[in-house]
Structure 1
Amino acid sequence: MSNTRIDVHTHLIPPFWAEELKTHGGDPSGWGAPEWSPEQLLRFMDEEGIAVSVLSLTAPGVEGWKGDDRIKMTRRVNDYGANLIVQNAKRFGYLATLPLPNIQASLSEIKRAYDELDVDGVTLHSNYDDIYLSDPRLDPIWEELEGRSATIFLHPTRPPMPVLPGAPSPLADYPADTTRCAVDLVLKGHRKRFASTKVILSHGGGYLPFAATRFAELGASLSKDRNAEDFMTDIRSFYYDTALVSPSGLPSLLGTIPCEHIVFGTDYPYASEKVSKIFTANLDQSAEVDADSLEAINRNAASLIQRLRLSA
């Protein structure tokens, strides 16, 4: 299989981070960490026709560390990710982790990540200590990212509620928190205030495409200044990755979001190799996706990652 795809939703697991996570809150989502190595990832990529994997640290990120320890772990993770690019620049990209909700430390790390480590963007979680991304306290972060026309990978984390017994957060809560966060950004006008940022929503935007008209019409009924189409414009301004988007979800995604704003993703290795391959096959074989659209989805992320634009 020829390597043509760009995977915007694939995770690295630094071994030091995985080990220390055990004593820093573990994974509150209840999912846990699989085995991972760069070599395993490259084999998976070759088997699935993936040319480039854009790596990010998944939830809970560095949130189990406190104070200076959170900052130190953030820097170690970002150094590790940046080093993977140095070792294999043709196959890997990297989206930096931030020590949020510490604003000043996060601003410093954005500058270091871009100016010294040459990262491809940043990862933001749907909430930090129950603070959602539209919170005014995070405006300095958005202003810095806006000034850089940053690519932002928005990954869900556990919402501020207990995990359902027997149902780890990635099963249902993660898509819900992506939806909750994205709708909040639209309602608060963030997509207009920070229009130069390119925000990728995980997992097909959660439930956002399926319920987009609902959100737009009800949002308009609460607003004196905006109509439903205005809200839909903001909803369509996000990018949506295909990681774990089911065959039943593809019609909503493709019927609501412009094809040029849909990008390929797998969620490997947290979606196991078997599961990742099933969902990629579902996309490849979908009657909803013609050959030209599939080729575009596989490659659209090239417009979001600077190193890929420069090498095109």
Structure 2
Amino acid sequence: MTANDASAGEPAAVPPLPGAIDVHAHFITDRLRAAMQAAGHGEPDGMPAIPDWDPEAALTHMDAVGVRTAMLSVSSPGVDFGDAGATRELARSVNDEGAELVRAHPGRFGLMASLPLPDIPAALAEAEYALDRLGADGIVLKTHYQGRYLGDPHYEPLMDLLDERRAVVCLHPTSPQCWQDTSLGYPRPMVEFAFDTTRAVAHLIMSGTLRRHPGISFIVPHAGAALPVLADRIAVFALMQAEGPPAEVLADLATLHFDLAGFALPRALPALLQLTDTRHLLYGSDFPFTPGWAVEGLARNLADAMDPATREDMLRHNASRLFPRLQEGVCRI
């Protein structure tokens, strides 16, 4: 709003989610954009275009919604475009630039660092650099890398490191390798993302990865994707396939954290609350891949649907437990 608008007596819009911590927000650097376009991802995952992003526009959007702090991560397709050396360089670049954004805007941004997977030695080195040198708030992991899903033994050294560091890990879906056969020509975020998230989380549980690494705090996106509907089915198959003690699917799902990015209402959130409680809900915008006008409308729906205690848990309290530095109101990066 300009000064002229205010003097004309127009009331300032009240942000729907004042003081929110947004755990599912993205950023796009110039180098990342160029790499995506060069690799043929100018329409990422079938979306019309790579959205515009800059810190000033992001802060304006955050103020309109009421977001105090946005935890920035790289969205799908990530930083791996087939060349291992280029992947290492691009991961380092986005992490360095993300850390600089946090330093330049104290308290407004956080960083979920990207890793040059599926190269495990390089990923271990980058995780240590991001967490120790940059002070990153956590790590973002795609549901799979070149078709190898989280929960595969390939990732065990990384899971060991993240468990030891008690890291927060944001999961993010990406197009499955068979998307040409399954997406029916539609953008993959419409259906494929939900099932790719569900596939990865099911594998984390069924493989025992989640139980072996209790120090990792996983954030599952999009109100749990298809997990609330498929949880009982997965649990039965865990019993049928177990050679030893079966995976405790429902108990394990209840330990996860879930962001409400996307269309949590009117159906997804009530289903999710059959799996977990309100202390495991987190706010997520998915900006800028979800445009600002849509984020604001979805935020108002959430604000209107929740009682005050649940809203406070979802907006601030739960995220503050995951990211203790946000309780202090200072930036440690």
What TM-score do the two structures reach when normalised by structure 2?
Answer: 0.89
Larger Rg: 2
Which has the higher mean CA deviation after the structures are superposed, 101-110 or 29-38? 29-38
| 30, 38, 53: which one aligns with 1:15 | 30
Q: Partner amino acid for 2:45?
A: S
Give % identity. Answer: 33
2:287 is paired with a residue whose SS is coil
Q: Following superposition of structure 1 onto structure 2, how do residues 269-288 of structure 1 map, counting pairs within 5 Å?
A: 269-286=288-305
Alpha-carbon distance in structure 1 between the residues aligned to 2:212 and 2:134: 27
| 203, 228, 231: which one aligns with 2:222 | 203
Q: Following superposition of structure 1 onto structure 2, how do residues 115-264 of structure 1 map, counting pairs within 5 Å?
A: 115-163=132-180, 164-226=183-245, 230-244=248-262, 245-264=264-283
Q: Following superposition of structure 1 onto structure 2, how do residues 85-124 of structure 1 map, counting pairs within 5 Å?
A: 85-124=102-141
Q: Partner amino acid for 1:77?
A: V
Aligned partner of 2:5 in structure 1 is none
Q: Given that residues 44 and 76 in structure 2 are in contact (C-alpha distance below 8 angstroms), is that contact kept between their aligned partners in structure 1?
A: no
Q: Given that residues 209 and 257 in structure 1 are in contact (C-alpha distance below 8 angstroms), is that contact kept between their aligned partners in structure 2?
A: no
Alpha-carbon distance in structure 1 between the residues aligned to 2:274 and 2:315: 18
| 11, 14, 38: which one aligns with 2:55 | 38
Q: Partner amino acid for 2:26?
A: H
Aligned partner of 1:4 in structure 2 is 19
Q: Given that residues 134 and 185 in structure 1 are in contact (C-alpha distance below 8 angstroms), is that contact kept between their aligned partners in structure 2?
A: yes
Alpha-carbon distance in structure 2 between the residues aligned to 1:184 and 1:227: 13
Alpha-carbon distance in structure 2 between the residues aligned to 1:89 and 1:233: 37
Alpha-carbon distance in structure 2 between the residues aligned to 1:226 and 1:270: 41
Q: CA deviation at 1:29?
A: 1.1
Note if 1:64 corresponds to 2:78.
no
Alpha-carbon distance in structure 1 between the residues aligned to 2:102 and 2:72: 10
Q: Following superposition of structure 1 onto structure 2, how do residues 67-82 of structure 1 map, counting pairs within 5 Å?
A: 67-82=84-99
Q: CA deviation at 1:225?
A: 4.1
Q: Partner amino acid for 2:131?
A: Y
Q: CA deviation at 1:15?
A: 1.6
Q: CA deviation at 1:98?
A: 0.2
Q: Given that residues 97 and 124 in structure 1 are in contact (C-alpha distance below 8 angstroms), is that contact kept between their aligned partners in structure 2?
A: yes
Name the Cα RMSD after superposition.
Answer: 1.6
1:211 is paired with a residue whose SS is helix
1:43 is paired with a residue whose SS is helix
Q: CA deviation at 1:79?
A: 0.4
Q: Given that residues 28 and 158 in structure 1 are in contact (C-alpha distance below 8 angstroms), is that contact kept between their aligned partners in structure 2?
A: no
Q: CA deviation at 1:166?
A: 3.4
Q: CA deviation at 1:28?
A: 5.0
Q: CA deviation at 1:224?
A: 4.5
Q: Partner amino acid for 1:5?
A: A
When the two structures are aligned, how many residues end up with a matched partner? 309
